[in-house]
Structure 1
């Protein structure tokens, strides 16, 4: 990206950094000169191929683990985190309508996808409160939401509910709270539709499924990871997005809804 987004040496923490979108986020922000702390759960993926980043492990379901994550990021990567990108998440591959979904699946999805972001934002804001003004000047949180949070997703209600909570619950709430700590602080959500990631690889091999999924998408294509990571970088920049807060940016090719396929109908 040739435009200077003002992210040189800004400390960015990216959760779920080893995944498809996460790794693209690391590459994008590294190219923009940011100081990157890459959070992982267990898998490092290709992160070791990116020079000059800090890789830290944490369980997003554990408050102590998240508290330690921010302390280690500050100690090992030149000071407190300025920008938090909440990218991690799970999407159970089994189809389970709410009437058949196990309580264990529901609770685990929300624990990772919603309680994790709550704990991350809590620890981030507490650390931000005592950070120097140079850190607060770049303060913002960006959630990675989903079209599932806007349109719902049959047989994946746990995932849809968790993403909707980020997009329409935490984003508008936190954009009013962050300014009490950092006056220029912002909170936004970037919400992709289908993206060609390793997590979606098997699903996207089904050409009939992809055709149905894109029927309400004018651009008629599956997004690349770069489509998401570059939009996040633009929103993270105070230079070009310093007056943008509390918004949901849909990176979905213009998707207008879902095609409903009912049993017994063609």
Structure 2
């Protein structure tokens, strides 16, 4: 296991970092003395998280990042390297969903979900590899039990997360050749706005705090250079979408 000093000072980019699991990941990595880039489409919310981290003694910067604005991504990552000297960790966390039957799913919404949840991580990972292969690094993709099972009214979300899981394993194979570790973190239900805002009647006792998942992510980054975890699943004890 690496020590805190070996993780301290690393530069981590977290997409969707302004709320829910993303904000917990940012707080956790900052607590481990990493320089955290809070990236989100909502800049003011990202700035609020970054300010909170700084006030608590961590190091964080907020940037506006739309993961579907593919043409801007190389420039965004290059700017991070120019400002901080490196990019050591990429966490593809940004994700959206629309709960609706297949027969009522608009094509443009389907495309939005796949662009955000799958194509965005592809473009970000592609550009991160361009930077990381010179200095090793970690790419962590936030997946879901939706990549393992299926339920009604989530066709686009399932398609994106099943695709993201497959992409992550392919990226893991290619990344190893470059010294870059790639991991899929499959999350069970969490007490975040992603679920609570859409399903106000959900039983929160069946959900886990996002900090539990964030702590697992931090431990992945402590793994020695000689080893990699391709996939890990983190479920609440009362998970309803898994046996």
Q: Which residue of 1 aligns with 2:116?
A: 112
1:257, distance to aligned residue in structure 2 (A): 4.2
C-alpha spacing 1:247/1:86, structure 2 compared with 1 (3 Å): same
1:64, distance to aligned residue in structure 2 (A): 2.2
1:5, distance to aligned residue in structure 2 (A): 8.0
User: Partner of 1:44: helix, strand, or coil?
Assistant: helix
What CA deviation, in whole Å up to 9, does each residue of 1:16-42 have, x standing for no partner? 110111111111000101111221112
Alpha-carbon distance between aligned partners in 1 of 2:52 and 2:229, rounded to the nearest angstrom: 33
What CA deviation, in whole Å up to 9, does each residue of 1:133-152 have, x standing for no partner? xx31xx11111111111112
TM-score relative to the length of structure 2: 0.87
Alpha-carbon distance between aligned partners in 1 of 2:222 and 2:139, rounded to the nearest angstrom: 11
1:205, distance to aligned residue in structure 2 (A): 2.9
User: Partner of 2:44: helix, strand, or coil?
Assistant: coil
Alpha-carbon distance between aligned partners in 1 of 2:16 and 2:240, rounded to the nearest angstrom: 28
1:242, distance to aligned residue in structure 2 (A): 5.2
C-alpha spacing 1:242/1:221, structure 2 compared with 1 (3 Å): farther
Q: Which residue of 2 aligns with 1:12?
A: 12
Alpha-carbon distance between aligned partners in 1 of 2:111 and 2:208, rounded to the nearest angstrom: 29
Matched, 1:128 2:94: no
Q: Which residue of 2 aligns with 1:200?
A: 195
Matched, 1:49 2:52: yes
- RMSD of aligned residue pairs (Cα, Å): 2.2
User: Do the aligned residues in 1 keep the contact of 2:43 with 2:62 (CA within 8 Å)?
Assistant: no
User: Do the aligned residues in 1 keep the contact of 2:20 with 2:194 (CA within 8 Å)?
Assistant: yes
What CA deviation, in whole Å up to 9, does each residue of 1:3-25 have, x standing for no partner? 84841111111111101111111
Matched, 1:247 2:215: no
Matched, 1:142 2:140: yes
Q: Which residue of 1 aligns with 2:29?
A: 29
User: Do the aligned residues in 2 keep the contact of 1:143 with 1:189 (CA within 8 Å)?
Assistant: yes
C-alpha spacing 1:186/1:10, structure 2 compared with 1 (3 Å): same
Matched, 1:151 2:149: yes
Alpha-carbon distance between aligned partners in 2 of 1:242 and 1:23, rounded to the nearest angstrom: 29
User: Partner of 2:148: helix, strand, or coil?
Assistant: helix
1:233, distance to aligned residue in structure 2 (A): 0.8
Q: Which residue of 2 aligns with 1:214?
A: none
User: Do the aligned residues in 2 keep the contact of 1:57 with 1:69 (CA within 8 Å)?
Assistant: no
1:254, distance to aligned residue in structure 2 (A): 6.8
Q: Which residue of 1 aligns with 2:90?
A: 84
Q: Which residue of 2 aligns with 1:164?
A: 162
C-alpha spacing 1:56/1:43, structure 2 compared with 1 (3 Å): closer
How many equivalent residue pairs? 234
Please, which runs of 5 or more residues in structure 1 have no aligned partner? 212-219, 260-266
Please, which runs of 5 or more residues in structure 2 have no aligned partner? none
Q: Which has the larger radius of gyration?
A: 1
1:249, distance to aligned residue in structure 2 (A): 2.1
Alpha-carbon distance between aligned partners in 1 of 2:63 and 2:151, rounded to the nearest angstrom: 32
